[in-house]
């Protein structure tokens, strides 16, 4: 990848700073800065430096996701949020530090190897094969297997019923929300232990955003750990277990989502007050 890919992080919408009031009684909460968690983590980033080519974006990033946890990464445009996701999935230049999944280092592995380890990834852009049918897109999610797991296809259809109805329809003709379901379904075809979601509500009509978050909640409720970068920062923090705030490629705050929402500094600097 080239330095042009870094622009992905700067293209996120200003919706991260949409104003929405929280209770005044919570305004004195203080967000934490201890970025590691106590105990085991399914995903562990330590002192991570990464970027694109010679351009460094992330510096000394520390991040953990526990088994079954729902974690959101927020921050201003250009903070390096999407770069975190791409680095975990082996799509950037690793410059230092470690990325461990289930106790084993995965930095330096190719995306196909990371998929085999149990990580699924839904990128923000170009996340479906537009010329393939819905079913063919789902089958692509199991391309590393000798046979397509029909039971998993049915599980995806049960989770996203509209995809069963559109099974033979070309993915490129679907609505934005339906394409996002296809992308998520494809990433779930191998039943990953960790699902990476890069801006899942981007481009969706406002009335579809809440439904998409509900679907992510149900995926997490089923036991899949979720690490999400999201433009709709307030809604993401309301729903997640913990959140990380990145600024200029570095950790700034880490805490429960509700604590970050209530912290006055976080609200004023990153959430629009």
Share of the chain above pLDDT 90, in %: 75
Categorise residue 62: left if φ over 0, alpha if ψ from -120 to 50, beta otherwise.
Answer: beta
What pTM did the predictor assign?
A: 0.86
Given a cut of 80, whether residue 8 has pLDDT beyond it is no
Any idea where the domains of the chain sit in the sequence?
3-16+31-270
Average confidence (pLDDT) over 26-41: 70
Exposure on the CB side of residue 7, measured as CA atoms within 13 A: 5
Average confidence (pLDDT) over 115-130: 93
How confident is residue 231, by pLDDT bands cut at 50, 70 and 90? confident
Assigned CATH topology for domain 3-16+31-270: Rossmann fold (3.40.50)
Q: In this predicted structure, what is the pLDDT of residue 273? A: 59
CA-based radius of gyration for the chain: 18
pLDDT in tens, 64-113: 999 999 999 999 989 999 999 999 999 999 999 999 999 999 999 999 99
Given a cut of 70, whether residue 21 has pLDDT beyond it is no
Q: In this predicted structure, what is the pLDDT of residue 248? A: 94
Q: In this predicted structure, what is the pLDDT of residue 20? A: 36
Share of the chain above pLDDT 70, in %: 88
What is the rounded distance in angstroms from the CA atom of residue 172 to the CA atom of residue 174? 6
Residue 141 CA: distances (Å) to CA of 81, 127, 138, 261, 264 = 24, 11, 5, 35, 42
Q: Which residues contact 34 (CB under 8 A, 6 or more apart)?
A: 254
The mean-pLDDT minimum among 30-34, 120-124, 210-214 falls in: 30-34
Average confidence (pLDDT) over 194-209: 91
Given a cut of 90, whether residue 17 has pLDDT beyond it is no
Q: In this predicted structure, what is the pLDDT of residue 23? A: 36
Cβ neighbourhood burial of 83 (10 Å; 0-12, 13-18, 19+): buried
What is the rounded distance in angstroms from the CA atom of residue 94 to the CA atom of residue 171? 33
pLDDT in tens, 141-182: 999 998 999 999 999 999 999 999 999 999 999 998 999 999
């Amino acid at each position: 990848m080239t330095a042009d890919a870094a622009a992905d992080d700067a293209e996120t919408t200003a919706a991260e700073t949409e104003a929405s009031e929280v209770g005044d009684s919570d305004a004195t909460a203080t967000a934490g800065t201890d970025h590691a968690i106590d105990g085991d983590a399914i995903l562990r980033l330590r002192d991570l430096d990464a970027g694109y080519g010679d351009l460094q974006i992330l510096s000394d990033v520390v991040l953990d996701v526990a088994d079954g946890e729902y974690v959101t990464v927020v921050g201003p445009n250009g903070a390096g949020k999407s770069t975190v996701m791409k680095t975990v999935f082996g799509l950037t230049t690793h410059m230092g530090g470690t990325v461990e999944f289930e106790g084993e280092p995965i930095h330096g592995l190719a995306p196909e190897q990371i998929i085999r380890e149990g990580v699924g990834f839904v990128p923000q852009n170009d996340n479906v094969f537009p010329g393939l049918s819905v079913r063919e897109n789902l089958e692509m999610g199991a391309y590393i297997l000798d046979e397509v797991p029909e039971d998993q296809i049915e599980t995806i259809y049960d989770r996203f019923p509209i995809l069963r109805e559109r099974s033979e329809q070309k993915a490129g003709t679907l609505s934005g929300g339906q394409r996002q379901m296809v992308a998520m379904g494809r990433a779930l075809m191998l039943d990953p232990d960790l699902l990476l979601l890069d801006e899942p509500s981007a481009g969706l009509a406002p009335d579809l955003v809440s439904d998409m978050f509900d679907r992510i909640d149900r995926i997490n409720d089923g036991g899949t750990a979720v690490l999400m970068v999201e433009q709709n920062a307030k809604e993401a923090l309301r729903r997640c277990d913990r959140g990380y705030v990145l600024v200029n490629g570095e950790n700034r705050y880490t805490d429960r989502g509700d604590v970050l929402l209530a912290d006055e500094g976080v609200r004023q600097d990153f959430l629009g007050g």
